[in-house]
Structure 1
Amino acid sequence: MIVFTEIAALKAHLRTERFAAAHEGKVLQVGFVPTMGYLHEGHASLLRYARKNNDLVVLSIFVNPIQFGPNEDFDRYPRDPDKDKHLAEREGVDVIFLPSVEEMYPQPTKTIVRVEELTERLCGAARPGHFDGVTTVVSKLLHIVSPNRAYFGQKDAQQAAVVAQMVNDLNMDVEIVPCPIVREEDGLALSSRNVYLEPEQRQAALVLSRSLRDAEQTVRENDQITAGEIFRQITRSIALEPAAQIDYVEISYFPSLIALPDSMSVKDAEGDILIAVAVKFGATRLIDNIILAKEVS
């Protein structure tokens, strides 16, 4: 495993690897997993998908300042590069890209990559400018690495949809591969921000997966249920937890993220349905979701 901190050195290494493969009559398949570090088993699952389907696996670790708002947790976002390297080596990563902020943004950036409409709801409504920062840095990373495939966790379903839209709109030659949410045994979706939770908040946060799971079961039992009824069921369930402060509960088509009308029944929905929640426990904001494939309804 090789660690690079400079863009030019990483590009040179990947050119060399591709040239060597071409010399042997092969096309090097590169899998890429972009992260902000503080890796957990959710990230490890992405690396395993990449390892299984590619010749070379690149992992980036970069806490991207331009996707954080002025009152968000950039300075205290958890970081542990040594632990990250150990997990990456365990999962067979070939290359780690670990740049500094100065390497990625040597001067104030004057170019912003923006995806319209998909970024205006869900987390985009609560975090203005967040997805501009995400799409800008992901665009930079995809141009630096030039992977065949890039892997994103479905826990942030909106991010996966936004990145896929960007790649499609800009004709980027990369396949975006969404991967399933990884959860703790008790159902809590893995997140680097879980480390912020106090023990009582950690227990309270189980209301997220429980309310989503109950909603999914309700839909399985009654496909006439409307989006508004699902919304009210989930909202009531979360509101019963005193430590939970709801940011949003949203029911929308996926991946378009167009909201379902409150009166529309699941049976009448044409396409997959995303049920997404964002809830604060103290100062920690957690997201979770489920996707109801059309065949479920």
Structure 2
Amino acid sequence: MVISTISETKKVLENHRSTGKTIGFVPTMGALHQGHISLVNRAVNENDTVIVSLFVNPTQFNDKSDLKNYPRTPESDIKLLKESGVHYIFMPSEQEIYPEKDTRVFDFGLLDKVMEGEHRPGHFNGVAQVVSRLFDIVEPHRAYFGQKDFQQLAIIRYLVKQLKLKIEIIACPILRESDGLAMSSRNLLLEPDKRKSAPIIYKTLSEARNKVNELSVKDLIYWVIANINKDPNLAVEYFSLVDSETLQPISNWEDSSSVIGCIAVKAGNVRLIDNTFYK
């Protein structure tokens, strides 16, 4: 069932909630791929009722041409979701979500001052605006997010804590194409030569794991960037080795017991992100 209004969404979900049914929620921007469907499948397995939102949120795009070019495939999205056993699809208009300009500014401490937050000013504030709005509309028991957007996951967990929401945030593993490229809606925008080069990103991140014992943090960062930049189709925007809880950069391997490497790479006009654990 496809719903486009907040009032109807609240009404149908309240009927489920009042009979003690659990509600699982997967917020998406559409252009769905198997990575999204893995989140949906988990939600279907773990909840009585599942709702998926399809909404390209304008407030999280710091680059307006990126918003304009973002892939939109509503017909195939709806078909995929129905085949996956989703009960409700929430497809609101921008006017429905933002009847007036959302001027809320969130404080995430240091979480949004690094990596994506540093390179995409205002991005996470926009994410928090839409996610908090959707959580208010859906009031799910559980919400599902992919680990590819690792920093976003940390921000959302912080948001839930900050707003004292009783929502369990479920992190789902990255799904990859057969050549290792992390599944992403943006992969649809890659030119053939850039698509061919893109798997080098994860290949390099994986190879770097074998160098942890022989290279310093600084040297490993240098090695990863240099290795990817050797390909003329790819340009690293950043590669950071950070503590997986605080997201703050480490200087030495001893600085943290759980280290994740996060990367953003431009492949032509398309920006790809990925991550992997090093410790």
Q: Shorter chain as normaliser: what TM range?
A: over 0.9
Q: Which residue of 2 aligns with 1:287?
A: 273
Match of 2:133 among 140, 154, 166: 140
Contact 1:114 1:136 in 2 (8 A): no
Counterparts of 1:132 and 1:254, CA distance in 2: 20
Counterparts of 2:256 and 2:118, CA distance in 1: 25
Shift of the alpha carbon at 1:230?
A: 1.6
Give the 3-state SS of the residue equivalent to 2:68 in structure 1: coil
Contact 2:148 2:173 in 1 (8 A): yes
Gaps of 5+ in 1: 22-26
Deviations 1:36-88 (A, max 9, x none): 00100000000011111111111001000001124441112111111001110
Q: Which residue of 2 aligns with 1:12?
A: 11
Counterparts of 1:291 and 1:88, CA distance in 2: 31
Moved more, 163-172 or 28-37: 163-172
Contact 1:254 1:272 in 2 (8 A): yes
Counterparts of 1:144 and 1:159, CA distance in 2: 20
Give the 3-state SS of the residue equivalent to 1:12 in structure 2: helix
Counterparts of 1:202 and 1:96, CA distance in 2: 31
Q: Which residue of 1 aligns with 2:162?
A: 169
Counterparts of 1:142 and 1:110, CA distance in 2: 18
Contact 1:193 1:284 in 2 (8 A): yes
Matched, 1:214 2:207: yes
Contact 1:161 1:255 in 2 (8 A): yes
What amino acid is aligned across from residue 233 of structure 1 in structure 2?
W
Shift of the alpha carbon at 1:274?
A: 1.2
Q: Which residue of 2 aligns with 1:24?
A: none
> How many corresponding residue pairs?
279
Shift of the alpha carbon at 1:110?
A: 2.8
Query: 1:265-276, aligned counterparts within 5 Å?
Result: 265=253, 268-276=254-262
Match of 2:53 among 60, 64, 83: 60
Match of 1:102 among 73, 95, 98: 95
Q: Which residue of 1 aligns with 2:39?
A: 46
Instruction: Please provide the CA RMSD for this pair.
Output: 1.3
Give the 3-state SS of the residue equivalent to 1:190 in structure 2: coil
TM-score, normalising length: structure 1 = 0.91
Q: Which residue of 2 aligns with 1:245?
A: 235
What amino acid is aligned across from residue 32 of structure 2 in structure 1?
L
Give the 3-state SS of the residue equivalent to 2:221 in structure 1: helix
What amino acid is aligned across from residue 111 of structure 2 in structure 1?
L
Q: Sequence identity of aligned pairs in percent?
A: 40
Counterparts of 1:189 and 1:72, CA distance in 2: 23
